[in-house]
Structure 1
Amino acid sequence: MSENLVAIFVPSMRGGGAEHAMLNLAIGLQERGLSVDMLLIRVKGPYLSKIPPQIRVIDLGALRVLTSLRGLVRYLKKEQPASLISAIDHANIVAILANYLARVNTKIIITVQNTALTILSKKRKLKIISILLLMKIFYSWAYAVVAVSRAVADDMTNLGVIDRSRIKVIHNPVITPEIKSKSKSNIEHRWLVTRDRPVLVSVGRLTAQKDFWTLFKALKLILQQRPIRLIILGEGEERESLEKLSVELGIEADVDMPGFVDNPYAYMAKADVFILSSAWEGLPTVLIEALALGTPVVAADCPGGSREILQAGRLGRLVPVGDQKMLAEAIVATLDEPVRPVDPEALKPFTQEAVVEKYLELLKR
């Protein structure tokens, strides 16, 4: 058993919140003196280049999460890390099963990154039953189950996956020293250089979950009152349909989607308002980052952590999911009021330092 070795298991380093959180956790643990291996099913993604050389990258050489089981069992038998931390539900199940098959004493800590009720409702009944059954069976075998927000913990309990007393809430390590330093970088986006009207910024993968359709419709309503622009940073399978919708709504000249950018913080810091329009979340990383940068925010009150982060609306306006009219009204109201600074103490639980400390306590338990 390698007492100083911690493995972190994620499918890839694609530009998602869970992957970014696990990268920040890996860096934080390594800086506290632990040896860290990053286990990837596919060694690709924009965050790959951000892994420091002190962290070893292990290629499990699989095409899918399930087929990574053999490689993960082999790794556990050979390296025998003291702990393995996994993220994303399918990876969580494979991690627990691999540990059982490897017959080692590695502590499996699974992190639940998203609420499940909304996601499961989009699947067929038989698949829902199968997923819930697997979660109920395997999650009870884990050394620890970590939920990234109270909303996620409550969701798991309501689904009957695991007893609430077995779930530990530890937020993702979102706020790092890098955020503030990178936010000061110059960007050459024409809308943020020539400030002739307010600019909204949103960050997220172009997927159904992020509900940029509602944001587009809200933008159209605002444009009927005043000039405004929207920048969305991210890439995904819904790009074509969103581009088509922008043309249909006649807002294409006021929307820019430059794709994934290496430094979203510079955009977020210069935005007049940051928008989270998601239909569901677990712990919306970008919302926390925007608050940390002092940018006013408006968020959908979706299943997940937005209400928790914004302290029921005290730190930013919350609007019903999918309500374009109320979203537009909240954006206009936020633009028309003075910027209110956020108390740093309110964001302390989301700092890399605080979160790493909680994981260290968990690892030593």
Structure 2
Amino acid sequence: MLRLAAGIAARSYAVDLVLIKREGAYLDSIPPGVRLVVLNTRRTLNSVAALAGYLRRERPAAMLTALVHVNVGALLASTLSRARTRVIVTEHSQITRNFAALTSRTVKLAYRMVPRVYPLATRVVAVSGGVADDLATFSGMGRDTISVIHNGIVTPELYARAAEPCDHPWLAPGEPPVIMAAGRLAPVKDFAALIRAFADLRARRRARLLILGEGELRGELEKLASDLGVADDVGMPGFYANPYAVMSRASVFVQSSQWEGLPSVLVEAMACGTPVVATDCPGGTREIMDDGRLGILVPMNDDQAMADAILRTLDQPVQTNEMARKVEEFTLDRAVDTYLELALGPQAVRRPLVHPRMAQPEAGVNR
């Protein structure tokens, strides 16, 4: 959402980022031109009332929201405020799977309100067709009432950072090929399956596996690599300041997830020109890879198929010009154009310089 807020602000719109509390990992990353508004509330009901007050005072032209409990709260606040703000709620993940894993009673209640509350939105947006299908099943909404807008992932900055030097010794000229993955070290990413597949591959060919990211499964994954005898060829350096410089030099990028919304790292890898292999999991993976035309899709829970697919990709990578054409669907400019048209109408895209305010609760838009 910060990237989208920055893109809208760059078109000379006034954009507010509305937070319940002044906290979070990205506070230092709020882009220039985006005003931070903090509601300073503790309880969910108080947050709804505070947001309603903000809407009455500021009268934003549109409000863009994300996360189910935030979406529901924003729609309730909009109803209370009686402001004529267009509310666009977005879904970024598989709502049915997220609901099954919930432990918070408050958040569970918000999910249960989705079928009644989401129809109040001006527009409901999913980041992929797979997410839209899942939301339609969960909510009972007609699939044709849910728009699909891909995240704005690809920017000129991504390409510039991909071209920067990379000092990782495994990526020096003459070293064995590096298979790369990135994401939270969490069950949904299923990096254990990737490590098992890599052990199979490593028995047949020299190679190395580099997994960028941090999470609660680090110890288990390190133990698995050791037990399989590949610890010396599996690197997990944690957070990497510039993952794109690594991506652009890796031989293959692998996504091993059990489900996704719209996997940004897969798009980023393709933008970097890196061949991709991915599990054919629920979500947007198949859309990104053009039903397997732009990389091999493998069944989930099939380590052998993943190892074979990586080997085949090392030998016969997809042409980078085909991937480059595909990633044009995921540019920030394209996403900004689409959201502005939804929020303010077609004239907002054609005439980007005389602009009203837009608001984003934990990401939204104001007039």
| TM-score w.r.t. length of structure 1 | 0.86
Cα gap change, 1:38/1:129 in structure 2, threshold over 3 Å: closer, same or farther?
Answer: closer
Q: Aligned match of 2:32 in 43, 49, 53?
A: 53
Which residue identity lines up with residue 85 of structure 2 in the other structure?
T
Which residue identity lines up with residue 353 of structure 1 in the other structure?
D
- 1:201–1:275 Cα contact (<8 Å) kept: yes
Which residue identity lines up with residue 338 of structure 2 in the other structure?
K
Q: Aligned match of 2:255 in 269, 276, 295?
A: 276
Q: Deviations over 1:7-42 (max 9, x none)?
A: xxxxxxxxxxxxxxx122111111112111122345
Cα gap change, 1:86/1:128 in structure 2, threshold over 3 Å: closer, same or farther?
Answer: closer
Partner residue of 1:159? 138
Which residue identity lines up with residue 61 of structure 2 in the other structure?
A
Cα gap change, 1:50/1:193 in structure 2, threshold over 3 Å: closer, same or farther?
Answer: farther
- 1:65–1:90 Cα contact (<8 Å) kept: no
Percent of paired sites with the same residue: 44
- 1:291–1:342 Cα contact (<8 Å) kept: no
Q: Aligned match of 2:309 in 330, 344, 356?
A: 330
Q: Aligned match of 1:364 in 316, 328, 344?
A: 344
1:248 is displaced (CA, Å) by 2.6
Q: Deviations over 1:22-81 (max 9, x none)?
A: 122111111112111122345455544332221112233456877643443343233222
Cα gap change, 1:45/1:255 in structure 2, threshold over 3 Å: closer, same or farther?
Answer: farther
1:232 is displaced (CA, Å) by 1.4
Aligned residue pairs total 343
RMSD across aligned positions (CA): 2.4
Unaligned runs of 5+ in 2: 346-367
1:351 corresponds to 2:317: no
Q: Which moved more, 1:49-58 or 1:226-235?
A: 49-58
Which residue identity lines up with residue 335 of structure 2 in the other structure?
V
Unaligned runs of 5+ in 1: 1-21
Partner residue of 1:296? 275
Partner residue of 1:17? none
CA distance in 2, matches of 1:331, 1:287: 15
Which residue identity lines up with residue 158 of structure 1 in the other structure?
T
Cα gap change, 1:207/1:69 in structure 2, threshold over 3 Å: closer, same or farther?
Answer: farther
CA distance in 1, matches of 2:10, 2:198: 43
| TM-score w.r.t. length of structure 2 | 0.86
Partner residue of 1:84? 63
Which residue identity lines up with residue 159 of structure 1 in the other structure?
F
Partner residue of 1:40? 19
Partner residue of 1:3? none
Q: Report the 3-state secondary structure (helix = DSSP H, G, I; strand = E; otherwise coil) of the residue aligned with 1:283.
A: coil
CA distance in 1, matches of 2:5, 2:241: 19
1:305 corresponds to 2:278: no
- 1:315–1:342 Cα contact (<8 Å) kept: no
Q: Report the 3-state secondary structure (helix = DSSP H, G, I; strand = E; otherwise coil) of the residue aligned with 1:81.
A: coil
Q: Aligned match of 1:189 in 163, 168, 172?
A: 168
Q: Deviations over 1:136-158 (max 9, x none)?
A: 01111111100111111111222
1:94 is displaced (CA, Å) by 1.7
Q: Where do residues 64-103 of structure 1 align in structure 2 (5 Å cutoff)?
A: 68-103=47-82
Q: Where do residues 147-226 of structure 1 align in structure 2 (5 Å cutoff)?
A: 147-193=126-172, 195-226=174-205
**RCO higher in structure (CA 8 A, sep ≥6):** 2
Which residue identity lines up with residue 165 of structure 1 in the other structure?
D
- 2:72–2:110 Cα contact (<8 Å) kept: no
CA distance in 1, matches of 2:8, 2:88: 14
